[in-house]
Amino acid sequence: MKRKLEVLKLLTWYKHLQEEQAKIRVVNCKINLEKLLKEKDAVISFRKNCYNTLEKERILNGEELKYMLFLAERSSEFENKLSQKIDMQKKELENLLGLLEKAYKERKLMETSKNKVQQLWNAENIKKFYREMDDLILLRTGRKHA
- Which domain CATH number covers 141? 1.10.287.1700
pLDDT at 140: 81
How long is the chain?
A: 146
Asked whether the predicted pLDDT for residue 33 surpasses 90, the reply is yes
Distance of CA 30 to the CA centre of its chain: 10
Q: By residue range, what is the domain housing residue 96?
A: 2-145
Residue 80 to residue 74: CA distance in whole angstroms = 10
Helix (H) or strand (E) holding 146: none
Residue 95 to residue 25: CA distance in whole angstroms = 11
Residue 143 to residue 135: CA distance in whole angstroms = 12
Residue among 2, 33, 4 nearest 110 (CA): 4
102-137: pLDDT as tens digits? 999 999 999 999 999 999 999 999 999 999 998 888
pLDDT at 146: 62
Check if the beta carbon of residue 127 is closer than 8 Å to that of residue 63: no
Counted domains in the chain? 1
Confidence label for 141 from pLDDT (cuts 50, 70 and 90): confident
Please state the pTM of the whole predicted model.
0.72
